[in-house]
Amino acid sequence: MKKVVVACGSGIATSTAVEAKVKDLLDSNGLKGEYSIVKCAIGEAPTQCADADILIATTAAPAGIKCPYVNGVPFLTTIGKAAAEQQILDVLKK
């Protein structure tokens, strides 16, 4: 099971929007049932990412992140969304 961490400033607002779009992306690319998503505030990300496969955040990645980081802002603005989606799929389909 892949662990996906989705983070924003508070862990409530934009992470919820990004979570829904990431679920759609993963499910439509054959990963349904093969991942779990944890939402959190960016301050909790280093702890949550200790055993995660990827961090998708709408803020800069905090120091101490050991898993790959993908900027989640393109899921809100659509600018650069295809590239962000490909980065996520590249990490999770390994």
The per-residue pLDDT for 64 is 87
Q: Which domains does the chain have, with CATH numbers?
A: 2-92 (3.40.50.2300)
Query: Using only C-alpha atoms, what is the Rg of the chain?
Result: 12
Q: Write out the chain's pLDDT in tens, 94 residues.
A: 999 999 999 989 899 999 999 999 999 999 999 999 999 999 999 999 999 999 999 999 999 898 999 999 999 999 999 999 999 999 999 8
Phi, psi of 69 (to 5 degrees): -115, 135
| Beta strand extents in 15-74 (DSSP E only) | 35-41, 54-57, 69-71
Query: C-alpha dihedral over 31, 35, 40, 43, to 10 degrees?
Result: -100
